[in-house]
Amino acid sequence: MRDAIHQYLSGRPSGATAEELIGLIFTRPGSDTSLGPRFLQTMLGGDSRFAFDEQRLRWRAAIHQHLVLPLEDATFVVVDLETTGGAPSQGESIIEIGAVKISGGTVVDTFQTLVDPGRPLPRFITRLTGISDEMLAGQPRIRQALPDFARFAGEHVMVAHNARFDRGFLDAASRAVLDRPVTSNFLCTLRLARRLLPTLRRRGLDALAGHFGIPCVDRHRALGDARMTAEVLFHFLDALPKRGVLTVAEALDYQGLASDGRRFFCMLPRSAVASLPRGPGIYRFTDQDGELLYIGKAGNLHQRVSSYLSNSKGHSRKTLDLIRNIRSVDVEETGSELEASLLEAELIRARQPPYNVLRKHLPRIAYLKLTVANNFPRFSIATRPSGRSARYFGPFRSRSHAERAIDTLTRAFRLRTCTGTLRPAPDVPVCFQGQIGNCTRPCNLGTDAEGYRSQVAAFLNFFDDGETSVFEALEERREAASQQLRFESAARVQRDIDLLHHLRKRHRQMGWVVEQHHFAVVQPTADGASHLLYLVVHGRLLARTQLDETTDLPALIHLVSEQLNQAKPRGIKAEEVDGTTILAAWLRDRGDDDGYVIPISRDEKCFDASRSEAPDWALQVRALAGSPRIQRLAE
């Protein structure tokens, strides 16, 4: 237990209160507020690795005692490196070291040296820095330059802009030359900028220099950049006390705070992430007891899991809490992002991990809904198709796209969008849409049920039968507006025409997802040795299976036939919504090479699975799968 506390405090220079440490040890500390401090004093008081600050009532690791120093009394070494580019390599990537030592708010010393990397420089590095091979000839190698810099820096806290970069190169050089890692504490002006200047869109060194009015002198040379970084640090040292940050230890902790105000840390080893595959799949996070915390999907597993290791301002409070509890990750590769999405939805519904919000993992899509069973069908926006008493159009990428579509279609066909059941009467107040002519006002007898039904029929004919009269009417309005020199009105009508063409084209491509349409999707598995088959009937995912020698294709044919032969297709059940939504989004966004989509014809309703020949869709599945077993079953 002491080792765990020491590990925690080693990463927290300013220490932690007794309450915080007791919270790490016990799930339910109890109501006796004096027990925790007494318990910690008994357990840690005799251990030389720990020290207690009686003034601030905080425990800290003894290795950080020298950091309990007021900011105004501290000495900092601001460092910048120029390198050959790429990753650190045995220290032979550094070509210049520049540093500025500051104390008491003034520069007290500087350090600068070129370093011969022992190989020619890439051209882009010479163009960026102005450093040439000729300038490096005869300069010290890193084995001579690094000890000189180490003596200059001493045990002082180092400062760098994007310190992770500079520390990585210095650490590689120190291990190669001095046979030890860099142990100095680093303040990062980039991380401090994220905390102190949250509204600043860009926080690169140039952007910060512009923000504070710092001249850019000798940019992309080590000493010049170190001087600029030192000037930025002076501004931050003035701002930190206003945030309650008074010591060096508190500043080191402050730069690591997450957006929820607590220290950011992730116990998941970077080594466990480095070897993750870069293809699509799902990942599972577990805690120290092996309990499942979260299930997610990714198009690139390595990139997605790596994002949890960084202190991003985009992390929500719940995500930050998850990150602090992660201890291990397990991944499963899939053949496509579609399969990853479907598998993720299936596992979340089955396992219900505590950090997954049900249905939040689903893609955001929207549909247009027409309640055809109503006496006066209403036009609205829905998040998913359900029930049999409506027609659906879409899916759309977002609600805003759907709102633009419904606005255009309402102007063209004058259908109502108001809520509630209509009880037409001449004294019913007319809504805004009726007042501006976007609705025929069935509510106050502007049209009767028969007239409104003809509007609905025209709307459905536009999508189903390719009716063009609406285009003719809009083109007449456009020409009339142009002749009256109302060019903005004409342009608006043209935009409506273009959008209606697009909507009808998309409906022809996508209508089968939400209407009574049926199709199969075939995609390769992760290893490329087989294929995955998805069967969709009446707009819902009916089956998902791998095509291999054990696949019973006649059974799948019978399943499809049985569903097609139903007198009335049933609505989509709650547990089927996930797969239907994911497939709809995939069909909306799919690329030309992202699997195969095979329509299942309505004419196959009468197909008898006992007959020897297979339907056309099954023959196409067999041809794509290429499995001998599938061929025997389908023939």
Considering the domain architecture, whether residues 162 and 94 belong to the same structural domain is answered as: yes
pLDDT level of residue 6 (50, 70, 90 thresholds): confident
Nearest CA to 405 out of 365, 367, 456 is that of 367
In a domain, 25, yes or no: yes
DSSP H or E run through 82:
strand 75-83
Q: What is the pLDDT of residue 627?
A: 52
CA distances from 150 to 82, 155, 160, 240 (A): 17, 9, 15, 28
pLDDT tens readout for residues 314-355: 888 889 989 988 999 999 998 788 888 888 888 888 888 999
CA distances from 343 to 281, 284, 304, 339, 579 (A): 9, 12, 17, 6, 9
Phi, psi of 367 (to 5 degrees): -125, 155
In a domain, 264, yes or no: no
Q: What is the pLDDT of residue 593?
A: 66
Catalytic member of 156, 211, 220, 517: 220
- Mean pLDDT lowest among 57-71, 104-118, 325-339, 569-583: 569-583
Number of neighbouring beta carbons within 10 Å of residue 481 = 18
How far is Cα 336 from Cα 323, in angstroms, rounded to an integer?
26
**β 186-188/157-160 pair status:** parallel
Considering the domain architecture, whether residues 218 and 308 belong to the same structural domain is answered as: no
Considering the domain architecture, whether residues 416 and 549 belong to the same structural domain is answered as: no
Q: What is the pLDDT of residue 480?
A: 93
| Cα–Cα–Cα angle for 257, 191, 24, rounded to 5 degrees | 20
Domain range for 301? 270-351
Give DSSP secondary structure letters for 355-401.
TPPTTTTS---EEEEE-TTSSS--EEEESS--SSS-EEEEEESSHHH
Residue 153's CATH number: 3.30.420.10
pLDDT tens readout for residues 568-621: 555 556 566 677 777 777 777 776 667 788 878 765 544 554 445 678 788 787
Average pLDDT over residues 50-70: 83
Looking at 67, 85, 115, the residue that finishes a domain is 67
Is 220 a residue of the active site? yes
Is residue 76 predicted with pLDDT exceeding 70?
yes
The pTM of this model reads: 0.63
How far is Cα 195 from Cα 189, in angstroms, rounded to an integer?
10
In a domain, 361, yes or no: no
pLDDT tens readout for residues 246-272: 999 999 989 988 877 777 888 888 888
Q: Is the dihedral of CA 617, 623, 624, 630 positive or negative?
A: positive
Average pLDDT over residues 560-567: 74
In a domain, 627, yes or no: yes
Considering the domain architecture, whether residues 175 and 204 belong to the same structural domain is answered as: yes
How far is Cα 55 from Cα 58, in angstroms, rounded to an integer?
8
Q: Which residues pair with 367 in a beta bridge?
A: 382
Considering the domain architecture, whether residues 616 and 492 belong to the same structural domain is answered as: no
How far is Cα 580 from Cα 540, in angstroms, rounded to an integer?
5
Considering the domain architecture, whether residues 476 and 528 belong to the same structural domain is answered as: no
Total of domains in the chain: 5
Residue 288's CATH number: 3.40.1440.10
For the chain, what is the largest distance between any 2 Cα atoms, rounded to a whole number of angstroms? 97
In the Cβ-directed half-sphere of 283, how many Cα atoms lie within 13 Å? 24
Considering the domain architecture, whether residues 187 and 79 belong to the same structural domain is answered as: yes
Q: Chain-wide mean pLDDT for the chain? A: 84
Considering the domain architecture, whether residues 556 and 490 belong to the same structural domain is answered as: no
In a domain, 89, yes or no: yes
Looking at 514, 532, 567, the residue that finishes a domain is 514
pLDDT tens readout for residues 492-531: 999 999 999 988 887 876 665 556 567 888 887 777 777 8
Considering the domain architecture, whether residues 447 and 334 belong to the same structural domain is answered as: no
Q: Which residues pair with 543 in a beta bridge?
A: 535
- Mean pLDDT lowest among 37-51, 135-149, 331-345, 566-580: 566-580
List Cβ neighbours of 364 (8 Å cut-off, separation of 6 or more).
397, 398, 399
Q: What is the pLDDT of residue 226?
A: 97
Is residue 625 predicted with pLDDT exceeding 80?
no
In a domain, 261, yes or no: no
Looking at 514, 532, 549, the residue that finishes a domain is 514
In a domain, 360, yes or no: no
- Mean pLDDT lowest among 208-217, 266-275, 407-416, 599-608: 599-608
Place of tokens 């370093």: 115
Is residue 72 predicted with pLDDT exceeding 90?
yes
List Cβ neighbours of 608 (8 Å cut-off, separation of 6 or more).
561
How many residues make up the chain in this entry? Answer: 635
Secondary structure (3-state) at 281: strand
Q: What is the DSSP letter of 71?
A: G
